[in-house]
C-alpha cells in the first residue's frame, strides 16, 4: 500500500489497483477513488489529491462534489435536444403514416441532431436553429428546411409541456426562411391512400390555422 498524505494504492485480490484518497469531514473518515493504476499515474493521482485538498480547504466535500457533478451531467444528458426529440417521436409516431414518420426521424437524424442533439434544450437559441436551417437551405433543400423548423418547434413545445423548457425559440424564426416553392400534386383516388392521407391530417401537430385549413 502506497501512502502519501491520505493518498494510497489499493490492490484487490484479483490484481486490480486503484488510487484512493482518505480524508475526514466533521470527524468522519471518507474515501474516494482517483482512478485505476497504471492508467492514472502517481503524478496524476497527486494532482487529483491536491485538487481535493483545495476543495476541503474551502469547506467542500470532494466526494459530495463529485456526486453533484455526475448528477448535473446526467440531468443535462436527459434534457438534451436529441433525447427529448426521440421521446416526442416515440410518443406521436404511432399516430402517423409510416412513410411520414420515417421522413421525420431521418430529417432529424441527418440535419438536426448532428448540430443540436447534445445541447441542453433549454439553452438552444433561435440563431443556433437558424444556422442549422441555413445548412439545409444551402444544399437547395428549402422545403426540407421549413419542415425541419416545424419539427424543431414541435419538439420544443413538447419540452415545454413536459416541464423541460420554458419557450419555443423556433417560433422566433417565422419569416427567417424564404418561402418554399409550392408543388402541385395530382388528386388521390385510391381509397387506401385516402385513408392514409386522413390519418396523416389527424396526426398533424402544426398551427391551429393549418389544422383548420386541413
Work out the mean pLDDT of the chain and round it to a whole number: 87
pLDDT tens-digit map of 183-192 = 656 677 777 7
156, exposed or middle or buried, with CB in 10 Å at 0-12, 13-18, 19+?
buried
- C-alpha span between 103 and 93 (Å, rounded): 11
pLDDT at 109 over 60: yes
Residue 3 is predicted with a pLDDT of 36
Q: Global pTM? A: 0.59
Contact, 118 vs 82, CB < 8 A? yes
Whether omega before 107 lies within 30 degrees of 0, making that bond cis, reads no
Across 57-66, 163-172, 175-184, 202-211, the highest mean pLDDT is recorded for: 163-172
Contact, 147 vs 177, CB < 8 A? no
- % of the chain surpassing 70 pLDDT: 92
Q: What domains can be seen in the chain, in order of their start residue? A: 3-77 (3.30.160.390), 81-183 (1.10.150.130)
Residue 196 is predicted with a pLDDT of 77
Q: All 3 cell numbers of residue 102?
A: 420515417
Q: What is the 3-state secondary structure (H, E, C) of 95-128?
A: HCCHHHHHHHHHHHHHHHHHHHCCCEHHHCCHHH
Q: Tell me what the mean pLDDT of segment 137-161 comes to.
A: 96
- C-alpha span between 162 and 90 (Å, rounded): 15
CA distances from 42 to 3, 7, 175 (A): 11, 10, 59
Q: Tell me what the mean pLDDT of segment 25-36 comes to.
A: 88
Q: All 3 cell numbers of residue 23?
A: 480524508
Amino acid at each position: 500500500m502506497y501512502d502519501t498524505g491520505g493518498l494510497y494504492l489499493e490492490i484487490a485480490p484479483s490484481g486490480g489497483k486503484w488510487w484512493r484518497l482518505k480524508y475526514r469531514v466533521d470527524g468522519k473518515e471518507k474515501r474516494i477513488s482517483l482512478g485505476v493504476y497504471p492508467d492514472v499515474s502517481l503524478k496524476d493521482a497527486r494532482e487529483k489529491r491536491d485538487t481535493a485538498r483545495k476543495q476541503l480547504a474551502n469547506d467542500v466535500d470532494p466526494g459530495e462534489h463529485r456526486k453533484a457533478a455526475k448528477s448535473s451531467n446526467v440531468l443535462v444528458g436527459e434534457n438534451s435536444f436529441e433525447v427529448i426529440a426521440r421521446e416526442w417521436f416515440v410518443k406521436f409516431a404511432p399516430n402517423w403514416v409510416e412513410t411520414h414518420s420515417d421522413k421525420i426521424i431521418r430529417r432529424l437524424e441527418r440535419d438536426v441532431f448532428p448540430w443540436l442533439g447534445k445541447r441542453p434544450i433549454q439553452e438552444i437559441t433561435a440563431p443556433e436553429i437558424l444556422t442549422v436551417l441555413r445548412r439545409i437551405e444551402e444544399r437547395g433543400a428549402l422545403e426540407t428546411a421549413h419542415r425541419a423548423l416545424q419539427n424543431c418547434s414541435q419538439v420544443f413545445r413538447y419540452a415545454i409541456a413536459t416541464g423541460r423548457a420554458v419557450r419555443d425559440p423556433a417560433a422566433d424564426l417565422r419569416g427567417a426562411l424564404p418561402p418554399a416553392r409550392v408543388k402541385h400534386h395530382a388528386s388521390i383516388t385510391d381509397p387506401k391512400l385516402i385513408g392514409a392521407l386522413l390519418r396523416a391530417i389527424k396526426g398533424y401537430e402544426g398551427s391551429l390555422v393549418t389544422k383548420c385549413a386541413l
